[in-house]
Structure 1
């Protein structure tokens, strides 16, 4: 009887360890292959965050259309309202170009009043 209960406890620990490992080391999201939850302009997504109505957008894949107002090493800023972080920005875009970007919405910076997107890709 004692051997049986030890075996059940060991099996239970192994099952919990496997579940915990799979939870901690799950696959990363592929934002570029996900369908956007919302398609918005840079002005509209900024207004949504200013009005504190953006709980559904946090950590969601969104598509944002706007005009490039600033280009840095790995980020684009759309209309001064949305910052988009890329792994690599294609070099054929310039300030003033209209663009549609898909990425994961990671939040809103109250100080600068900028919506932040990461893992961005350019949509055609």
Structure 2
């Protein structure tokens, strides 16, 4: 009986440490990650139109690289809209060199598709040079 108590305590300590390590993982650095997918807005639209469930499984929380034209800039929201269909927020500040109407290549984390606004959402973005 006395041998079971220390073993049980040791198992609880190991389980507690494992749970803390799992729950409190370090933050991702999307800017330094390699993009899982390099896509266009048309490809995203096509995949979400044909089968949104599979598209969510494929892209959800993945790092993607996207090239498109900047259609509007939201300085207050620290973001931009690309091709009138992709809302992009930046990791830090909105880069100063972004110009509405010009093409831009960004890399960020794909969040999903907002059916109400008919817009794709990407956050933690950075400009790819």
TM superposition score normalised by structure 1: 0.94
In structure 1, distance between residues paired with 2:32 and 2:5: 46
SS of equivalent to 2:100: coil
In structure 1, distance between residues paired with 2:45 and 2:34: 21
How many residues of Structure 1 are paired with residues of Structure 2 in the alignment? 123
Task: Quote how far apart the aligned CAs of 1:17 are.
Answer: 0.4
Query: Structure 1, residues 83-115: CA drift from partner, whole Å, max 9, x if none?
Result: 111121111211101000100101001112111
What is the RMSD of the two structures over their aligned residues, measured on CA atoms? 1.1
Task: Quote how far apart the aligned CAs of 1:47 are.
Answer: 2.6
Q: Which runs of 5+ in 1 are unaligned?
A: none
Q: Which residue of 2 aligns with 1:59?
A: 61
Say which of 108, 114, 127 aligns to 1:109.
Answer: 114
In structure 2, distance between residues paired with 1:67 and 1:121: 15
In structure 1, distance between residues paired with 2:49 and 2:119: 10
Q: Which runs of 5+ in 2 are unaligned?
A: none
Q: Which residue of 2 aligns with 1:83?
A: 87
